Amino acid sequence: MKGIPAVLIILLFLTAIPGASNETGDGMDDVRRAYGDFLHGFMERDHFVENGEQLSRDDIRFHTMGKLRAGFTDDSIVYALDEEGTFSFEIVFEDSNEVEPVGLERKGTRYNFFLGNDPSRWQSDLSCCGKVLYRDLWDGIDLLFYPVDGSLKYDILVHPGASTSDISFRVVGASFDISEGGRTICFETPFGTLEDGGLTAYQEGGEIPVEFVRYGSRYKFFIEDRNPEEMLIIDPIVQYCTYLGGSSSERTYSNSAVKDGNVYLYGTTYSSDFPAKPGTITPFHGSDLFVTCMNDTLDSIIFSTFIGGNGTDYDGGIQVDESGNIFICGTTYSKDFPTTKGTMNETSKIRDIEDPGGWTYTVPDIFISRISPSGSSLVYSTFAGGNMSDKGSSIDVDSSGHAYVTGRTQSKDLYLKNPYDDELEGEYDLFVMKLEPDGSDAVFSTYLGGNEIWYETASFIRIDAQGNPYVCGISNAWDFPTTKGSYMTSLPSGWNPGILFRLSSNGQDLDFSTFLGGENSPSCIDLTSDSIFITGTTYSPDLDTTPDAFDDELGGRSDAFLMKMDRSLSTMLYCTYLGGSSDESSYSVNVFGDGAPAVGGFTFSSDFPLSKHPLMSKIRGDASGFATFFTSDLGGLSFSSYFGGDGEDEVRWIYQNDPNNLYITGITSSKDLPVHGNAYDDTVSDYDMYAARIKLNSFPPTPPMNLTSTRGDENITLHWDPPLHDGNETITNYTIYMSPLNRSFEEVGVVEPDVFTFIHMRLDNGKKYYYYVTANNIAGESLPSRVTMGIPARPPSVPEILSINGGNGSVRIEWSDPPDCGGDPYITFNVYMGTSSDSLESVCRELEEHEYTMTGLENGKTYFFSISASNSMGEGPDSTPFSVVPMKLPSAPRNLTCLRGPRYIHLFWDGPADSGGDANLFYSVYISEEHGDFSKLKDQIGGHDFNATGLVNGRLYHFKVAAVNEKGEGPKTEVLGAIPLDVPLPPENVHVINGNMRAQIEWDPPSYTGGDDTVLYNVYLSESDDDSSFEPVAEGLDSTEYRISSLENGLKYYVRVTTANDLFESEPCPSIPFTPIGPPSEPVDLEVELKGADAVLRWSAP
């Protein structure tokens, strides 16, 4: 992955030191003593507790537990120095961004606080976390707190482009001083002194200078030589690790080898179920050698084979040439050890002999074997010893395929060829042998040793580019051959002094030879272009250390040592002890190119020197392996660590294939080595071999970038980009964390390294969820990405329609929020309209109001509308289309008239001139009595008339009529007054007064006028009493008499009178006959007859 971030980390520890008594008599001495009794840092527990208002300060987000407490606010750290919090001080983040601390690595522990008698402050089920992070506290700068061994540790991480000058802290409530050359701050408190120390700063180039600098009540950092383009070196990591063994024991005394990334392991197994592949070179005999080739990730065996016979076989050394051929040597007690025809010695000289004390023992032989690159066959295999005890210790191979073997021999008949020394000088000599590439013969074979009967042996051989073998070992012989001008030519005092020599490539010359000092047993050497490194075990308190030695004193009974000499072995360029206060031994040294050496071995010391970032900082078993990587100037340790577990562990071999990669192999009985989940074998039985690859420049990835969230229905989808830097290791996965409060986050998912999306399901719509993502590699977990917040949601449901009103050329719609807003509190609305239900088009979108009026419409025309709601998730379903007709109020009805009758008034009208756009009109009739208030008499009248019944005859009623359409009721008509009437009775007491050619008709008003206050009368006359013969002679009389003239006297007439009100005419009264009578004319024919005094008159009727 490209891109190396400019990252700086500052590591600090907060520890506490009891204050000394100041004899002031201030009553604080007892407090200080108590403080000293329990003082062991601010992290009595390995987590931080969420503040749910159990503390008096609500601004504290997290706090530690214990008698010394630290509280974390948004802009400061509060340190409480007593249980009540009476004495505290605060470190404020100066000129920082507004940042709320986030809890990382949520723990399973939960806390309940029931403090005081105020239940509102009782808190339960509070979470806790393993780290507290202030992300981007200053621009590009993070602050991370976490516990380490009871102390509160914090790291300041400076990202690319950020300025360390922005970092500033202000101290409130305590005084402070800076000591130890600017690397420690001492805070003075009533309880004593708190130290903030261990200040270090790292980049890829290693540690860089950093100091605290005080500015009044503030302090900052002064950092030199910072390269903003370099990356941080964090802790080295065990990249891969695996056990290798069966159900019994495995041992190795050999080095291992690496070729093309594959690791070749060599040792002895007592396990019948050792993981050998089918087709091994020999079957298992109960105790055999094994050669196992594993892939570079140590999770798969490429091949694994047994080699051995019926006796016991011991490994000596292994090498792999450029073609992948495997060369091994060792010691065997197996007479049937497999050899091949045509080799130097096909038959062993293993035999049983009896010592002077009568004890019988077997003398072993040396074997040398070359195995094919596939591990399936022997290219050659030969014995190489004599008839006494011989041991093959180490092997190397040159570019032509010549094997070089060294060890020790007791045999006077060792096969020799072109020897430098052709005679066994003492009881034991060491030997050096060079074989032809096909193993058919030796190129040379020679003894080398002195006359001393005591022990001499060779432990390791290394070939330079010219084929000259360098050999190290031990010799007690005073006359061991050394060369003039070498570093040490005389036998030093002490037991088993170390030796180092170089033979010529033909074996016939001793080019250089030297002692290495008394009681210094070298075990391994490695060559650079101009020097040779030697490591081993020393018991000597007077090791000839150089002035620049890393350690110039013997720690325990034994220490490991490291020497550097020139290639001519004349000068000790560097020499140092390496160890703690107990015992150490070193088995392997390796240098990549001309760089710094790496050393491996084992230690019993709990204070073995470690680097600032070891893999393992403590020895946990009886003995632990160690891997130590010196700096290039040999004055320090760029990396040094224990490697082991709860048992016994040894690092037998260490190898660098580049400056940042270390391979180690060895033996372990520990059940808890840092094997990874994909290891080939993750369990141990008794003693097993192990292999591990350590990465020195590996670190957790930088955080994933550009984290975003996309909301879904009850889900959140997260998207991110890979980290800017992968920590020099392959990303293994991404871990997703969630918190509903942006406080304590918990893991909710893990995805594969090629997946940059995560869908968090089964969430509550409308609820806030906060997320961050971390990237993981074998080195660990990155810091969190930026936090993103999401609210799950879905499109809303259909809004609820409240009202729909057609107006004058308009339509007004009102609605309420949908029953389901989809979880998004912010919704908008969309309005659709058409002239049919299937032709709706959008007329308004993203309307925030809950009403809409559409204007410019045609009154009386049917329109269809639909409403939908939208939120951030999209648009919800439309409502069912509804129709509405725009309209205005109708005008007043026209031509209001009525017909009256007994107790009713029947109203009639014509429709309004303007219906308002609604063809379906209804009418409402309003009534008022005797000029009173109008009230609605009837509504929803579908026609153009209405009969108002049940009225009181003779009572004045007023009426109005209004037209009603869907829009509402229009204006009313003008008032129409009417009185309901009944049929009156005829006049009473009708009589006739005859007159001369006339008659006077008189009558009384009727007893019932039909309800009309005013009645009129009609007079009918007939010359017969036949109903049909009567003719009116007077109508509408408003008096109760009437004179009929021009009658014929003496003619009989009949008269009838009726009563008439405003509506009706009564029945006629009974016929009244009469005959007009006038004065008669003069009689005629008047005669006078006088009779006496009387006169008798006679006449005729006139």
Beta bridge partners of 816: 800
| pLDDT tier for residue 1080 given thresholds of 50, 70 and 90 | confident
Residue written as tokens 């369990």? Answer: 683
**Which has more confidence, 273 or 415?**
415
Give the model's pLDDT for residue 5. 36
Task: Judge whether residue 1013 has pLDDT over 50.
Answer: yes
| pLDDT tier for residue 202 given thresholds of 50, 70 and 90 | low
Give the model's pLDDT for residue 111. 56
Give the model's pLDDT for residue 426. 84
| pLDDT tier for residue 38 given thresholds of 50, 70 and 90 | very low
Q: What is the DSSP letter of 177?
A: E
Segment 154-170 mean pLDDT: 81
pLDDT digits (tens, 9 = 90+) for 571-596: 999 999 999 999 999 999 999 876 78
- Residue 911 contacts residue 943 (beta carbons within 8 Å): no
Segment 1070-1074 mean pLDDT: 94
Phi/psi of residue 1101, nearest 5 degrees: -55, 150
| pLDDT tier for residue 218 given thresholds of 50, 70 and 90 | confident
The arrangement of secondary structure in 894-978, i.e. its CATH architecture, is Sandwich (2.60)
Q: Judging by beta carbons within 10 Å of its beta carbon (0-12, 13-18, 19+), is residue 803 exposed, middle or buried?
A: exposed
H/E run at residue 574? strand 572-578
**Percent of the chain whose predicted confidence (pLDDT) is above 70:** 89
For 787-811, the DSSP string reads: -EEE-------PPEEEEEEEETTEE
What is the pLDDT of the chain when averaged over all its residues? 86
**Percent of the chain whose predicted confidence (pLDDT) is above 90:** 54
Q: Tokens at residue 25, please? A: 């008599």
What beta strand segments (E) does 204-312 contain?
A: 206-208, 210-215, 218-223, 237-244, 250-251, 257-259, 262-269, 288-294, 301-307
**Which has more confidence, 661 or 411?**
411
Q: Tokens at residue 464, please? A: 């330079």
| pLDDT tier for residue 34 given thresholds of 50, 70 and 90 | very low
pLDDT digits (tens, 9 = 90+) for 857-909: 998 899 999 999 999 889 999 999 999 988 888 999 999 999 988 999 999 99
Give the model's pLDDT for residue 716. 94
Task: Judge whether residue 16 has pLDDT over 50.
Answer: no
**Pick from 76, 77, 70: which is nearest to 95 by CA?**
76
CA distance to 360, 364, 387, 453, 491, per residue, from 357 (Å): 9, 20, 20, 19, 32
Segment 333-354 mean pLDDT: 93
* Terminal-to-terminal C-alpha distance of the chain: 162
Give the model's pLDDT for residue 946. 95
Task: Judge whether residue 688 has pLDDT over 60.
Answer: yes
Give the model's pLDDT for residue 776. 93
Domain 704-790 fold: Immunoglobulin-like (2.60.40)
The arrangement of secondary structure in 800-884, i.e. its CATH architecture, is Sandwich (2.60)
Residue written as tokens 């400056």? Answer: 659
**Pick from 434, 384, 444: which is nearest to 414 by CA?**
384
pLDDT digits (tens, 9 = 90+) for 95-124: 999 888 888 877 665 655 555 566 666 656
Domain extent listing, the chain: 62-234, 704-790, 800-884, 894-978, 988-1074
Q: Judging by beta carbons within 10 Å of its beta carbon (0-12, 13-18, 19+), is residue 786 exposed, middle or buried?
A: middle
Of 100-114, 441-455, 526-540, minimum mean pLDDT range: 100-114
Q: Tokens at residue 489, please? A: 């030519």
Segment 696-722 mean pLDDT: 90
Residues 6+ apart with CB under 8 A from 544: 517, 572, 575
Segment 721-737 mean pLDDT: 90
Beta bridge partners of 991: 1002
Work out whether the CA dihedral 406, 408, 411, 412 comes out positive or negative: positive
Give the model's pLDDT for residue 1016. 95
SS3 sequence of 576-642: EEECCCCCEEEEEEEECCCCCEEEEEEECCCCCCCCCCCCCCCCCCCEEEEEEEECCCCCCEEEEEE
Claim: this prediction has a pTM higher than 0.75: no
Query: Does 894-978 match 704-790 at the fold level?
Result: yes
Q: Where are the alpha helices (DSSP H) in 341-431?
A: none
- Residue 1075 contacts residue 1051 (beta carbons within 8 Å): yes
**Pick from 140, 130, 162, 137: which is nearest to 46 by CA?**
130
Q: What is the DSSP letter of 762?
A: S
Q: Which listed CATH number (3.40.50.960, 3.40.50.300, 1.10.3720.10, 2.60.40.10) goes with 988-1074?
A: 2.60.40.10
Residue written as tokens 């006739």? Answer: 992
pLDDT digits (tens, 9 = 90+) for 796-832: 999 999 999 888 889 999 999 999 998 887 899 999 9
H/E run at residue 184? strand 184-189
Segment 482-510 mean pLDDT: 94
Q: Tokens at residue 991, please? A: 């009589």
Q: Which residues of 75-111 are buried (b: 16+ CB within 10 A; e: fewer)?
A: bbbbbbbbeeeebbbbbbbbebeebebbbbbbbeeeb
Residues 6+ apart with CB under 8 A from 22: none
Give the model's pLDDT for residue 112. 58
Segment 416-427 mean pLDDT: 93
Segment 249-269 mean pLDDT: 88
Residue written as tokens 């022990």? Answer: 455
Amino acid at the residue 609: P
**Angle, CA of 59, 60 and 61, to the nearest 5°:** 110
**Which has more confidence, 852 or 224?**
852
